[in-house]
Structure 1
Amino acid sequence: MCTSLTLTSHANHHFLARTMDFGFQLDGRPVVIPRNYEWKHQQEAQKTKYGFIGTGRNLGEYFLADGVNEKGLAVAELYFLNEAKYHESTHEEKVNLAPHEFIMWLLGQIGSIAQLRERITEIHLVEEAIPMLGFIPPLHFIVTDKTGETVVLESDSGEMVVKDNPVGVMTNSPDFGWHLKNLNNYLSIQPTNFSAKKIEEYVIQPFGQGSGTFGLPGGYTSPERFARATFLRALTSTGETVEEGINAVFKILDNVTIPKGVNIKDDGSIDYTQYRAVLDVTELAYYFNPYESQEVFKLTLDEALLNVKEATEFTYDPTFKTTNLNAN
Structure 2
Amino acid sequence: MCTSICYTSTDHYFGRNLDYEIDYGQKVIIVPRNYVFNYRDMPAQKSHYAFIGVSVVNDNYPLLCDAINEKGLGIAGLNFQGPGYYFPQIKGKKNIASFELIPYLLSNCESTAEVKEILADASISNVSFSSNYPAADLHWILSDKTGKSIVVESTKSGLHVYDNPVNVLTNNPEFPSQLTKLSDYVDVTPSNPKNTLVPNVDVNIYSRGLGTHHLPGGMDSSSRFVKAAFVLSHAPKGKDEVENVTNYFHILHSVEQAKGLDEVENNRYEYTMYTDCMNLDKGILYFTTYDNNRINAVDMYKENLDAEDLICYDLFKKQDINYIS
- Short-chain TM bin: over 0.9
Contact 1:196 1:206 in 2 (8 A): no
Question: Which stretch of structure 1 is more off in the superposition, 130-139 or 162-171?
Answer: 130-139
Residue 148 (structure 1) shift: 0.9
Give the match's secondary structure for 1:325. coil
Pair 98,198 (structure 1): closer, same or farther in 2 beyond 3 Å: closer
Pair 200,8 (structure 1): closer, same or farther in 2 beyond 3 Å: closer
Aligned residues between the structures: 323
Pair 198,146 (structure 1): closer, same or farther in 2 beyond 3 Å: closer
Task: Answer yes or no: is 1:155 the counterpart of 2:137.
Answer: no
Structure 1 gap segments, 5+ residues each? none
Kindly report which structure 2 residues correspond to 1:7-22, keeping only aligned pairs within 5 A, or say none.
Answer: 7-9=7-9, 12-22=10-20
Residue 123 (structure 1) shift: 2.7
Counterpart Cα distance in 2 of 1:66 and 1:198: 46
Contact 2:17 2:252 in 1 (8 A): yes
Contact 1:130 1:137 in 2 (8 A): no
Residue 34 (structure 1) shift: 0.6
**TM-score of the pair, normalised by structure 1:** 0.92
Kindly report which structure 2 residues correspond to 1:75-224, keeping only aligned pairs within 5 A, or say none.
Answer: 75-88=75-88, 90-131=89-130, 134-157=133-156, 159-196=158-195, 199=198, 203-224=202-223
Residues 85-117 of structure 1 show CA distances to partners (whole Å, capped at 9, x for unaligned) of 1112x2344332221221111111111112111
Contact 2:36 2:308 in 1 (8 A): no
Aligned residue identity for 2:24: L
Residue 215 (structure 1) shift: 0.2
Identity %: 29
Which position in structure 1 is the counterpart of 2:300? 301
Residue 291 (structure 1) shift: 1.4
Which position in structure 2 is the counterpart of 1:37? 35
Aligned residue identity for 1:13: D
Counterpart Cα distance in 1 of 2:175 and 2:292: 32
Contact 1:196 1:205 in 2 (8 A): no
Aligned residue identity for 1:55: V
Counterpart Cα distance in 2 of 1:317 and 1:155: 31
Kindly report which structure 2 residues correspond to 1:228-247, keeping only aligned pairs within 5 A, or say none.
Answer: 228-247=227-246
Contact 1:3 1:170 in 2 (8 A): yes
Contact 1:48 1:105 in 2 (8 A): no
Residue 138 (structure 1) shift: 0.9
Structure 2 gap segments, 5+ residues each? none
Give the match's secondary structure for 1:189. coil
Residue 303 (structure 1) shift: 6.8
Residue 160 (structure 1) shift: 2.7
Residue 258 (structure 1) shift: 0.7
Counterpart Cα distance in 1 of 2:269 and 2:292: 18
Residues 203-249 of structure 1 show CA distances to partners (whole Å, capped at 9, x for unaligned) of 32321110111100010111100000000001111221121011001
Contact 2:291 2:316 in 1 (8 A): no
Query: RMSD between aligned alpha carbons?
Result: 2.0
Residue 47 (structure 1) shift: 2.8
Counterpart Cα distance in 2 of 1:325 and 1:98: 51
Kindly report which structure 2 residues correspond to 1:42-81, keeping only aligned pairs within 5 A, or say none.
Answer: 42=40, 45-60=44-59, 61-81=61-81
Give the match's secondary structure for 2:321. coil
Aligned residue identity for 1:75: I
Residue 48 (structure 1) shift: 4.2
Aligned residue identity for 2:87: H
